[in-house]
Amino acid sequence: MKTASRRDFLKVAGLGLASLAAPRVFAAGARKPNVIVILADDLGFADVGFNGCKDIATPNIDALAKNGVRCTSGYVSHPFCSPTRAGLMTGRYQQRFGHENNPTWLPEDTKVGLPLSETFLAKQLGAAGYATGAIGKWHLGAAPCFHPNERGFAEYFGFRGGGHMYLPDEKNPLPQEKTWQVEYRIPLNRNKESVTHTGYMTDILSDEAVAFIGRHKAGPFFLYLAYNAVHTPLQAPEKYLARFPNISDEKRRTYAAMNSAMDDGIGRVTEALRKHGLEQDTLIFFLSDNGGPITVVPCSNTPLRGGKGQVLEGGIRVPFVACWPGTLPAGAVYNEPVIALDLLPTALALAGAQPPEKPLDGVNLVPHLTGANKAAPHERLFWRTGGGSGWAVREGRYKLLKSTGEQQSHLYDLAADIGEEHDLAAEKPDVVKRLTAAFEAWNAQLVPPIFESPRPGPKKQQQQQQQKKKAKAK
């Protein structure tokens, strides 16, 4: 049987339609596109070349932007780790089902994790005929019921906690504020079997991704590659450290080496696609799970204000690229706000997969990125943290936010003031009133957090207090 052409597929897939009201129907023999989501961890907004980084070369990440679409207003749905991943995997604001904090490592607790009532992207794509694999950091619950193999991933390799040691050498201690996180030294998993940690973690995860592509080159496949780079602890072998002799700050040098190792791994992933002739059959998303933690490591979110844990732009706006050679325009820049919640409905539309019963908060991005749909993907985007102690809403050029610990909200014109320096709340009370009402209406649909984040150590608590004081001073 003759395989349908890529043009035939695009016609049948209905890429000019953003709706997910019904699953797509594909011509016999039409190849559905592969989908790869590459998620960095705690990557600074300005620590990739396409966002202006000068001291850390990221040629392979930059190549994704060169060959795809760079989303300048690319967001995640929360300013820190696990809630962002919960939103990405479900296409829904995670506060709708109470996943608003990081889960503590409690393998015996079946409540501390992403609720079983929610359907994962992997399960929906698996039902549509996709091979599904997750590699790297999980952080969506430690109990067996939350294991990736139970949430739709046929293959899993990685660690299920919030982080891990990069080097197996026990002489590399955790920073003081991390000693309470026992998951940093747990065995790796290959599916549900324990695996001994050997080698450098970032390289190991890249090896696994390349092998997955080779096993499933006949397609279609969905690969979720969740690096723990560049999250602490700051650890890198000499072969990567040696690339940065001119960075005098040792922490920045190690951070750069970790970033470079991840970039190498992404290059190996794209090379595997080229080797198997899959470049034009594969949509790749690259993004970070939140902004860089500027009070913890010497990362950079320039020109954004704030960092991880905050609803300021530096906490939620991230490097964000969509690359699909031959379908998405190469080297394009897309300025309308998009969010990680959009990845699930995009993948479902391309796969012709059955949409979930629960309403989604994301949209199919492909028609917007190709220019087939000229409208903005979202009328508004929302954020909430701490059960409502901090929140934000963006509508077009305007963003209204209230930071944790503050009583007053602040209004910024992001088109003219990306650094959120000039509060317009007093000048534009009508905008403040409209966006406050919009947030309150959205917030009324949400539920309280169903579990609390792990308690930080003394050093971390001090850093958080300093971060709050700096934000308040500005």
Half-sphere exposure of 127 (CA within 13 A, CB side): 14
pLDDT tier for residue 168 given thresholds of 50, 70 and 90: confident
Average pLDDT value for residue range 66-81? 98
Active-site residues, by number, are: 81, 139
Residue-wise DSSP of 343-364: HHHHHHHHHTPPPPSSPPS---
CB atoms within 10 A of CB 447: 12
Is there a domain that residue 199 lies in?
yes
Is there a domain that residue 328 lies in?
yes
Average pLDDT value for residue range 371-391? 97
Is there a domain that residue 6 lies in?
no
Is there a domain that residue 294 lies in?
yes
Is there a domain that residue 167 lies in?
yes
Higher pLDDT, 6 or 139: 139
Per-residue pLDDT at 175:
55
3-state secondary structure at position 58: coil
CATH code, 407: 3.30.1120.10
* 148 in Cβ contact with 123 (< 8 Å): no
Per-residue pLDDT at 219:
87
Residues 138, 287 within the same domain: yes
Half-sphere exposure of 63 (CA within 13 A, CB side): 13
- Choosing from 322, 344, 370, the residue where a domain stops is 370
- Choosing from 314, 345, 370, the residue where a domain stops is 370
Higher pLDDT, 178 or 44: 44
Is there a domain that residue 14 lies in?
no
Residues 347, 385 within the same domain: no
Residues 362, 388 within the same domain: no
Residues 319, 388 within the same domain: no
Per-residue pLDDT at 385:
97
**Domain of 212?**
33-370
**Percent of the chain with pLDDT strictly greater than 70:** 87
Residues 313, 385 within the same domain: no
Residues 196, 257 within the same domain: yes
Per-residue pLDDT at 197:
87
Residues 344, 436 within the same domain: no
Whether 26 has a pLDDT exceeding 80, the answer reads no
Residues 407, 291 within the same domain: no
Is there a domain that residue 325 lies in?
yes
* Range of lowest pLDDT (66-80, 311-325, 456-470): 456-470
Number of domains observed in the structure of the chain: 2
**Over the stretch 239-282, which tens digit does the pLDDT of each residue have?**
999 999 999 999 999 999 999 999 999 999 999 999 999 999 99
**Over the stretch 104-113, which tens digit does the pLDDT of each residue have?**
999 999 999 9
Residues 386, 342 within the same domain: no
Whether 463 has a pLDDT exceeding 70, the answer reads no
Residues 167, 298 within the same domain: yes
- Is the pTM higher than 0.85? yes
Whether 23 has a pLDDT exceeding 60, the answer reads no
Helix count (H) and strand count (E) of the chain? 12, 16
Whether 377 has a pLDDT exceeding 80, the answer reads yes
Residues 357, 385 within the same domain: no
- Choosing from 347, 370, 393, the residue where a domain stops is 370
Whether 13 has a pLDDT exceeding 90, the answer reads no
Is there a domain that residue 67 lies in?
yes
Tokens representing 309? 């844990």
- Exposed / middle / buried, residue 468 (Cβ in 10 Å: 0-12, 13-18, 19+): middle
Average pLDDT value for residue range 121-136? 97
The overall average pLDDT reported for the chain is 91
Per-residue pLDDT at 31:
84
Whether 19 has a pLDDT exceeding 90, the answer reads no
Measured CA to CA, the distance from residue 123 to residue 360 in angstroms comes to 16
CATH code, 317: 3.40.720.10
Residues 337, 443 within the same domain: no
Per-residue pLDDT at 21:
38
